[in-house]
Amino acid sequence: MMASSVTDKELRGELVRHARNYRERAPVFGINQPVPEESLAQARDLALAIWNPTLACLLIPPVVGNYQTLIQLPNNGNVSVFHPSGAIAARMKAAQQRKPFGPEKEASDRTVLKARAQQVGEGIARRYLAPNEEVRYESFWELNGQVTTLEGEKSAPMLLEVVSSFRRYLHGLPVLGRASVHVGLGAGPQVTQWSVEWRRVRPEPFVETPIISAEEGAERVLTQMASLRPGKPFTSKDLKVQDFILGYMSFSPRVPQRVMQPVWVAVLAPLGKFNMGHVVAIPAAPQPFEPLARGPVIPMAPARSTPSN
């Protein structure tokens, strides 16, 4: 593919140098559309298994909607089920409303917290794993807080919650989008929140597609972005490449999806006075099997300090 005059050679080259996971071909899968009744049963079973079987008598009848169903839990907690995807997200009361970790060993031994989160996260994933799939630990971050008195005096920082995320891999490629599984822990350590986004695919692919090269993928990314600034293409002075990865794309849990297809995803951080980064997803097959529901360009939050996760 010939390089376009509207794309920057240096930025294109940086994308290619950051490219990961390239292979010449990849399978494409149909997605089994979730059945709301089955998703609700799965959500209930997971909530009882993760928290407490005695919770069953306290579950409030769900508020059923066309796209989302909400199951209320005690203490303002809830379990949300997203019918277009079958995704589930659950949370007890907010971290700021719970008792913080103790200042001693409980908060300092992160190894124990990570092990507990991994146990829960892998337990969730085992209910969804199919042949040629695996789940891998991805990240760990912390939520801290301080108390400020009316006189302006601040307490020492307190650890409120830790969160671990896990990524699904299908035929060796990551399923990109939000975390496939995440688990939050509060003092105890007790599970405070969890989620699973795992669109089940059919056992056999309906086709195996060739994958466009990293060079062509980079050119397509920058060509799509050029529409945001006609006549002034983005350059390496505007954006820094953080990642350029081949994987499968899972849409927002609120959006229906028919096909699990390979994509190239570029993560571009802002530089200088240009304060908006971008995450750009393009089909990695010569022709898309389904439009990417979130659109070609997804703005990131304005640049501040380096993210903790």
Structure tokens at 199: 């669109």
Give the pLDDT score at 28.
98
Report the domain count for the chain. 2
Q: Check whether 65 has a pLDDT greater than 60.
A: yes
Q: Which of 91-100, 122-131, 259-268 has the lowest mean pLDDT?
A: 91-100
Q: List the CATH number of the domain containing 81.
A: 3.30.310
E strand or H helix that includes residue 240: strand 239-249
Handedness of CA 191, 197, 199, 205 (dihedral sign): negative
Q: Check whether 5 has a pLDDT greater than 60.
A: no
pLDDT mean over 149-173: 88
Q: Check whether 10 has a pLDDT greater than 50.
A: yes
> How confident is the model over 190-239, as pLDDT tens digits?
899 999 999 999 999 999 999 999 999 999 999 998 888 888 888 888 89
**Count, residues in the chain:** 309
- Stronger pLDDT, 74 or 124, i.e. the higher one: 124
- Stronger pLDDT, 118 or 304, i.e. the higher one: 118
> How confident is the model over 169-189, as pLDDT tens digits?
999 999 999 999 999 998 888
Domain range enclosing 149: 36-196
Going by the DSSP 8-state scheme, the letter that residue 3 receives in this structure is P
Residue ending a domain, choose from 196, 230, 258:
196
2 domain-assigned: no
pLDDT band at residue 295 under the 50/70/90 scheme: very low
**Same-domain check for residues 61 and 180:** yes
**% helix, strand, coil for the chain, step of 5:** 25, 35, 40
Give the pLDDT score at 150.
78
pLDDT band at residue 275 under the 50/70/90 scheme: low
**Same-domain check for residues 71 and 183:** yes
CA 200, CA 220: separation in Å to the nearest integer?
29
Give the pLDDT score at 303.
34
- Mean pLDDT computed over every residue of the chain: 85
pLDDT band at residue 302 under the 50/70/90 scheme: very low
**Same-domain check for residues 215 and 192:** no
Give the pLDDT score at 100.
78
CA 126, CA 122: separation in Å to the nearest integer?
6
CA 288, CA 212: separation in Å to the nearest integer?
11
Confirm if 65 and 235 have CB atoms less than 8 A apart: no
Confirm if 181 and 166 have CB atoms less than 8 A apart: yes
* Type of residue numbered 285: A
Burial of 303: CB neighbours in 10 Å, binned 0-12, 13-18, 19+: middle
CA 165, CA 139: separation in Å to the nearest integer?
5
Residue ending a domain, choose from 166, 196, 226:
196
Burial string for 22-59 (b: 16+ CB within 10 Å, else e) reads: beeebbbbbbeebebeebbebbbebbeeebeeeeeeee
Q: List the CATH number of the domain containing 241.
A: 2.40.128
Q: Check whether 305 has a pLDDT greater than 70.
A: no
CA 197, CA 53: separation in Å to the nearest integer?
23
pLDDT mean over 16-37: 96
* Type of residue numbered 129: L
